[in-house]
Structure 1
Amino acid sequence: MSVAEQSQTRPGADLRFAVIGAGMSGMLAAIKLEEAGFPHVEIFEKAGDLGGTWRDNTYPGLSCDVPSHVYRYRFAPNPNWSHRFSSGREIWEYLDGVAREYGIRDRIRFNTGIDRCEYDGAVWHLTTEGGETETFDIVITATGVLRDPVMPDIDGLDDFEGPLFHSSRWDHSHDWRGKRVGLIGTGSTAIQITTAMADEVGKLSLFQRTPQWVVPVENPEIPEQEKQALAKDPARMDSLYDYLADRFQNTFARAVVGDKEELAKVEKACEENLATVRDPELRAKLTPDYQAACKRLIMSDRFYEQVQKPTVELVTDRIERIEVNGVRTADGRLHELDMLVCATGFEAHKFMRPMQVIGRDGHTLDDEWAEANRAYRSIGVPGFPNFFTIVGPNSPIGNFSLIMISEMQFAYIMKLIDQIAEGRAREIEPSREATDRFNADIKDAMTGTVWVSGCSSWYLDKNGNPAMWPWDFERFADEMAEPDLGDFRMAS
């Protein structure tokens, strides 16, 4: 049955939906809403193209750290991934292809950011950055997590005369090959950039504040015969998906939430990988003083090889200031550079902000989240009816495939939408009591996770609490299987 045919018989087919964001999660929401027979779906995207993080990040060496065959929509298998872990460009092309196949690319309203969402007791009024206001019955935010880049707070940053940019805003008009490049940061992005640049750069100065644990994960090409076998047998792709998901969920994902045996395996792999660094002085500089997996683990089987190349210098002296010609460190040395790249992370706890969200009785999301970002099962907030979030606070973004998480969260949201569509409720939102109970459980469970073992990371909110999922995958799957309607306020 076509969407048009479905919409003629679907209860609530006249409901108007706003989906904010056209990255992976927003695309998912739009596709699934139309498949379910809801034709009135508007997709707002503040940028000029779809793809979210895979649109914004184009730096050398970019790849995903989740296996390709599980980092995809369950409903859109792809037999043609080129590597075990896909490049950023390949993932963007996959998302673009899915958008075209399902007919949503031409329906996305690009360059249309939302400044304000306000609930008037019946509908949501959305005001665009251009000043236009439209009304919707249900709002779904899919604005992502690693979206807004953070530049380092270093004296003289504006004084540097060469190209200077954040890694997520890579300026491809400047060729780095053969040049003297400075790279600030040693997270996953910086390690991927270092690995990609080492053989062709003139000199790479890698400015490290904190060393990272690195797991030696290989990224081989997928043989052509395997691609052909997968293309001929869709069931084989489903089996591969299930196998990889099970491996991911029952090894690393368990390690970070308290499985000591699995965590010991991760630690051993990291230590053995670090031991491949031949120079004891360099190895000491690369050795973290915190437990493996406390920060997001880096996955690379080539970083230690590349950082030992004569073209790469690991700089551990504190940066004192940026000057016209380079970076001055605390030892007084000027590191002369032609280009400076800041791989210094993102504001990971903003969610849909700075968009202003005003719920019932004028209560704002800024007020609700003044002390901490708190939601019910990551998808809803009390006082904000018919307003749902994909990959909201405490989603398991560090544990599982983000696409898998989004699919499970949206399936849960759809069951709440059905309550509205089928006339059992006009408004639905989590109760204050259920939200408080859920967040208290999270706080209690977090004490058993690796994230509280004593390190600073982007996982931690402004209060120093990990904004993560502290339980295993089975609990996440169980909680996403079916809403407990007793935890919701439903008004008719």
Structure 2
Amino acid sequence: MATARHLRIAVIGAGASGLMALIKLREAGIADVTVFEKAETLGGTWRDNRYPGLTCDVPSLAYRYSFAPNSEWTHVCAPGPEILEYLKRIAGEYDLERDIRYGCEVLKADFENGQWRIETSDGDEGAFDAVLAAAGVLHHPALPDIPGLDTFAGDTFHTARWPHGFSLEGKRVGLIGTGSTATQITGAIVDEVEKLSLFQRTAQWILPLANDPIPEEQRKAYRANPALLEEEFERLSLEQTASFAAAVVGENPRAYAALERYCREHLELVTDPDLKRRLTPDYKVGCKRLIMSGNFYKAIQKPNAELVTDGIAGIEPEGVRTADGRLHEIDVLVLATGFDAHKIMSPMIITGRGGKRLDAEWAEAQEAYLAVTIPDFPNWFMIGGPNSPVGNFSWLQTAELQFGYALKLIEMIRAGNAREIAPRHEALRAFNDAVKAKMPDTIWASGCKSWYINKDGHVASWPWTFDKFKADMSEPVLADYDIA
């Protein structure tokens, strides 16, 4: 008869996913948990990003933990600081910080004798029975390789490293990039700066978003009637998964046609023919991550804003030199150049069964089984692993479902029915072959460059519907696992 075990669990990252994992592990009766966080505070991406205009692109009432409804969001899509405060509030209510080690970066993890020995920036942390890797996907800033970048005489920073209290008032600002971050910043700062030069490499499709305030009367109604709040959550979640999420994976052509129409009609707000031409993408709506904004087109047409579409030849002390020979003189250079979404687990050195290193196993392509587990790396579970639905659903819903899947396997270890659990190589291959077979049906594979696509052209997202994801996460298929 199997004997129940005391488990020691490591969680990597104190962002939204890591905090949720700690709460859920405690609820399951697993109390010996340590969360390793390399920064000095919690919050993950909502801590690192504090640029002007930062806003979630998922409706607020659908962006929350299932166990922590929030009636206090002030806008249809919450500003970043509100989301960070929500995470801090949850951490306080659940007394999470007693199990978080701040300023403690995981450097190495070695699988030895059925356990993971972890080394951090503080030293040897000992052995753990399982690891939940919740370090996130978008946290390694991608810096552009532009000649002379280090010679600029003014202030330069990536948007994820925005200096606390930094003012742009009255300054000439150069903003490199036109993704979601740059779009939000443009609308937020154009009335504050003397001049905004927005350097665009690729035009973006923008879905109109009227980010209206949620009236106090509405919030009061949510407080008084939690069922009403839950009803709105279910409505918004269904709207997102049945329309947008299904549309981008080729399962709802009618919804996709509507998305396309909304984006094209929105572009009609640009009145200058030349500017409209330069803002019109040459790829299908949704191929890149769809941007949502209600003020970008208005902002870029203001007299002190300029869209620069000539390529950047180099950076000089006074500003940005473009390929046409023009020097764009600026005081501040902001790099809205996104993140390397394919550095999952980097720079940790992770060594699994038989001395296999994860960076070597992933040298050609990052592959996991159902985005959660990896062959030869037993008891290592990922929230946000390769081919997670990073561009489809609300991330908090995704994270909870992935955690629930991992917990079922962890419970087998705790019950004494297994010591080591890792997916079979055949299961990994079958899953990833299915991903590749389905991906051509998705809009991401329609012919554009995006951060979803790795250096080998592999689209690292979930090519199926939310219902399939939920079903796949509901119960592990034990036949797909080597269980020792």
TM-score of the two chains, using structure 2 as the length reference: 0.98
Paired residue for 1:171, among 163, 173, 184? 163
Q: Which residue of 1 aligns with 2:474?
A: 481
Q: Retained in 2: the 8 A contact 1:61–1:196?
A: yes
Which residue of 321, 341, 346 maps to 2:314? 321
1:36 pairs with 2:28 = yes
Structure 2 residue matching 1:420: 3-state secondary structure: helix
Query: C-alpha displacement at 1:230, in angstroms?
Result: 0.6
The equivalent residue for 1:339 is 332
State the alpha-carbon separation in 2 of the partners of residues 136 and 106 from structure 1: 18
Deviations 1:201-239 (A, max 9, x none): 110000000000000011100010111111111122211
Q: CA deviation at 1:370?
A: 1.4
User: 2:4 & 2:138 partners in 1: Cα distance?
Assistant: 34
What CA distance in whole angstroms lies between the structure 2 residues aligned with 1:313 and 1:347?
28
1:405 aligns with 2:395: no
SS at match of 2:61: coil
Counterpart of 1:103 in structure 2 is 95
2:367 maps to amino acid:
R
> Which amino acid is 2:404 matched to?
A
Deviations 1:242-275 (A, max 9, x none): 1110000011111110132221111110000001
Q: In the alignment, which residue of structure 2 is the partner of 1:128?
A: 120
Instruction: Quote how far apart the aligned CAs of 1:132 are.
Output: 2.5
Q: Which of 410, 434, 446 does residue 441 from structure 1 map onto?
A: 434
Deviation at 1:395, TM superposition (A): 0.5
Alignment partner of 1:416 out of 402, 409, 414: 409
Alignment partner of 2:223 out of 231, 234, 252: 231
Q: Which residue of 2 aligns with 1:69?
A: 61
User: Which residue pairs with 2:241 in the alignment?
Assistant: 249
What SS is found at the alignment partner of 1:436? Answer: helix
Distance in 1 (alpha carbons) for counterparts of 2:279 and 2:30: 53
1:477 partner amino acid: K
Which of 83, 98, 112 is residue 91 of structure 1 equivalent to? 83
Does the 8 Å contact 1:409/1:480 carry over to 2?
A: yes
Contact map agreement 1:13 1:39 (CA 8 A) in 2: no
Structure-1 residue corresponding to 2:270:
277
Closer, same or farther: CA 112–12 of 1 in aligned 2, 3 Å:
farther
Using the aligned pairs only, state the percent identity.
Answer: 53
Gaps of 5+ in 2: none
1:178 and 1:367 mapped to 2: Cα distance?
A: 49
Matched, 1:354 2:347: yes
1:358-369 equivalence runs, <5 A: 358-369=351-362
Query: Aligned ranges for residues 39-54 of structure 1 at < 5 Å?
Result: 39-54=31-46
Contact 1:121 1:360 in 2 (8 A): no
Residue 172 of structure 1, CA deviation: 3.4
Cα offsets for 1:84-103 (capped at 9, x unmatched): 10001000000010011011
Say how many residue pairs are matched. 481
Q: Secondary structure at the match of 2:123?
A: coil
Q: Which amino acid is the alignment partner of residue 486 of structure 1?
A: A
Residues 337-394 of structure 1: per-residue CA shift (max 9 Å, x gap): 0100000011101111110100011011112111101000010000011110011110
Structure 1 position 173, deviation (Å): 4.7
SS in 2 for 1:90: helix
The residue identity in structure 1 corresponding to 2:356 is H
Partner of residue 185, structure 2: 193
**Superposed CA RMSD:** 1.0
Q: State the 1:13 CA deviation.
A: 5.8
Report the Cα distance in structure 1 between the residues aligned to 2:57 and 2:105, rounded to whole angstroms: 29
Question: Bigger CA drift: 103-112 or 84-93?
Answer: 103-112
How far apart, CA to CA, are the structure 2 residues paired with 1:480 and 1:354? 28
Asked whether 1:455 is paired with 2:455, we answer no
| Conservation of the 8 A alpha-carbon contact between 1:70 and 1:241 | yes
1:158 alignment partner in structure 2: 150
State the SS of the aligned residue for 1:251.
Answer: helix
Q: Letter of the aligned partner of 2:281 in structure 1? A: P
Determine the C-alpha separation between the residues in 2 that align with 1:154 and 1:424: 55
Kept after mapping to 2: 8 A contact 1:146/1:348? yes
Unaligned runs of 5+ in 1: 1-10
Q: What is residue 26 of structure 1 aligned with on the other side?
A: 18
CA contact (8 A) 2:14 2:36 kept: yes
Counterpart AA for 2:89? G
Contact 2:5–2:416 at 8 Å: present in 1 too? Answer: no
Q: Which residue of 2 aligns with 1:144?
A: 136
Return the alpha-carbon distance in structure 1 between the equivalents of residues 401 and 302 of structure 2. Answer: 44
CA contact (8 A) 2:5 2:413 kept: no
2:388 to 365, 379, 395: 395
Q: C-alpha distance in 2, partners of 1:18/1:177?
A: 44
Q: Does 1:15 align with 2:23?
A: no
More deviation, 169-178/34-43: 169-178
Partner SS, residue 132 of structure 1: strand
Aligned-pair distance for 1:130?
2.9
**Distance in 1 between the 2:69 and 2:364 partners?**
41
- Please say which of residues 130-139 and 263-272 is displaced more in the overlay: 130-139
Deviation at 1:423, TM superposition (A): 1.4
Give per-residue Cα distances to partners, 1:311-358, cap 9 Å, x unaligned. 110000111010001001111111000100000011101111110100
CA contact (8 A) 1:13 1:37 kept: no
Deviates more, 1:52-61 or 1:169-178: 169-178
Give deviations 1:20-42, integer Å, cap 9, x for gaps: 10001111111100111111000
Q: What letter corresponds to residue 161 of structure 2 in structure 1?
A: R
Distance 2:310 2:114 in 1: 58
Matched-pair contact (CA < 8 Å) for 2:5–2:415: no
| Inter-partner Cα distance in structure 1 for 2:164 and 2:331 | 14
Q: Report the TM-score when normalising by structure 1.
A: 0.97
Between the aligned partners of 2:331 and 2:98, the Cα distance in structure 1 is 41
Indicate the residue corresponding to 1:55 in structure 2. Answer: 47
Q: Which amino acid aligns with 1:401?
A: S
Separation in structure 1 between the aligned mates of residue 356 and residue 47 of structure 2, nearest angstrom: 34
